Amino acid sequence: MLQATPTVNLMHIASSTYCHYNQCMKFQEPHSWQLSPSQAQKLQLELASRISKNNEVNKPRYIVGVDISKPNSAGIGRAAAVVLSYPDLQLVEVAIAEGKLPFPYIPGLLSFREAPLILAACQKLSQDPDLVLVDGQGIAHPRRFGIASHLGLILDTPTIGCAKSRLCGQHQLPASKTGSYAYLTHEDETIGAVLRTKTDVSPVYVSIGHKIDLPTAIYWASHCCRGHRLPEPCRLAHLAASGNPIATMKVPVSVDLKPFT
């Protein structure tokens, strides 16, 4: 775990959750969020060297999806962390945090804008996850440190980036069939995969966040899909962050879950 330094207190961000008995997810913040864009870029380069590309995911019991809404007219955003059991992908817990986003929108620096609010939601979870799926980039990033990597490093938990669009790199189009993928490369390095999660639907961009390798990231992104473009943890987190009630949703099991080896 990274050593903590003085930071913005996440508990100052108003939040609500289904957390019980004050048994919440705990982590340390490794740095201040009050940085200039140039300082943030420098920090990304430093922290990227600490990302583990070795797989530490075996048989996850709880998988978390995280996402954040666009801010409203008052500049208030809403982050959601949704816990699902695996392999049935049934809803276990939802945590919501609302607050002003502390950093301007700058491509490539998304984590400095969104991560504090997402962490405020995660901080309220009573169940520690075995794997986190993030609606955003991991190492598929110009400095190899997108929001999925940033969150993974702080949470000290395996994370996968599952982005809806490409930030950098080149790739061939994967075949149209579900499960097909092509590698995403940038500056002669494989940084992710372009995964077709639903036949004839636009693919998602899967990349290592932290404590996972690319083949395993592709595997779990695929096996968390239930007939939609986004993996179910990310999809439900997106709905929750958008203000849609998901507590009574049933998640159909519609794919053949093969053992992971």
Instruction: Read off the tokens for 63.
Output: 């998988």
Instruction: Read off the tokens for 30.
Output: 């490794």
Looking at residue 7, its pLDDT comes to 32
3-state secondary structure 98-122: EEECCCCCCCCCHHHHHHHHHHHHH
Contacts of 188 (CB under 8 A, 6+ apart): none
> What homologous superfamily is domain 60-241 in, according to CATH?
archaeoglobus fulgidus dsm 4304 superfamily (3.30.2170.10)
55 CA to centre of own chain: 16
Kindly report, residue by residue over 8-28, the tens digit of the pLDDT: 333 333 333 333 334 567 777
Kindly report, residue by residue over 48-99, the tens digit of the pLDDT: 999 999 999 999 999 999 999 999 988 899 999 999 999 999 999 999 999 9
Q: Which residues pair with 100 in a beta bridge?
A: 76
Kindly report, residue by residue over 146-158, the tens digit of the pLDDT: 999 999 999 999 9
Relative to beta strand 131-134, strand 62-68 is parallel
By mean pLDDT, which of 25-29, 33-37, 68-72, 142-146 is the weakest?
25-29
Q: Is 190 helix (H, G, I), strand (E, B) or coil?
A: strand
Indicate the pTM of the whole model.
0.86
| Count of positions (residues) in the chain | 261
